[in-house]
Structure 1
């Protein structure tokens, strides 16, 4: 697929559209249980939704976890929009938000199958692979 030129990323403290994308990707596609996916941290996060034209296509949430660190979580792109720059766009928005909140680093817990994507954005692995809900993950960090 070719990159979409009409990607817009909007931020919100209300996760409605983000939840729909996460339900499709994490619950339906990957088998994560709803109580695990939709945790009590949603209320303390800024949610980003990437739109391609009028379609919600991808999402991420960002939590400000300490004076230096923003944690990027629940990054998901709907299958029909993968490979079109949606993930890049939502991550750029998350990083911009973290910088604007004076955070010096972004932390995430990446599924190992997409760790290469985060490495392409400058993230570095911090340690060994661990299991989260039956899916291998690795902690990664990016200096902002």
Structure 2
């Protein structure tokens, strides 16, 4: 069973960063200096666990009237298990609790079907971020 928690301790933050590093830097070859950015401290970080093992991560930033969903990732062996959906639902629930009207994100084009199943719609042409094709997407909360 997947459990998603808000990262409140150093251990949880380290686990979130370790999952992100494994997925984005090691697997997708994003430069490490681009993966950790200036928004880490202002973001709310989430970690997904299965049997107390960190398997996924994501973060949320607050905008004006919307939340920005970022750095959603799941370790390769745990993909297609629902972990990504659980992370997204936890982020969206916090956004709703805080009375935000919309969730926005930049999706890797290969992940568009995942986000569309969650109710997101594409709002941009394809653009490149960290060498990977992306599109902007939005959902009403």
TM-score bracket for the superposition, by shorter chain length? over 0.9
Report the TM-score, using the length of structure 2 for normalisation.
0.95
Equivalent of residue 67 in structure 2, options 52, 66, 70: 70
Corresponding residue for residue 21 of structure 1: 19
**How far does residue 142 in structure 1 lie from its aligned partner after superposition?**
0.5
Deviations 1:4-52 (A, max 9, x none): xx11100025532110000000000000011100001010000010101
Q: How does 1:62-141 map to 2 (within 5 A)?
A: 62-66=60-64, 68-141=65-138
Corresponding residue for residue 8 of structure 1: 3
* Moved segments of 4+, more than 4 Å: none
Q: Note the residue ranges of structure 1 that are not aligned, 5 or more in a row.
A: 1-5
Distance 1:110 1:116 in 2: 10
**How far does residue 106 in structure 1 lie from its aligned partner after superposition?**
0.2
Deviations 1:64-96 (A, max 9, x none): 011x10000000000010010100100000000
Distance 2:46 2:54 in 1: 10
Q: Note the residue ranges of structure 2 that are not aligned, 5 or more in a row.
A: none
In the comparison of the two structures, how many residue pairs are matched? 138
Corresponding residue for residue 40 of structure 1: 38
Coordinate RMSD, CA, aligned: 0.9
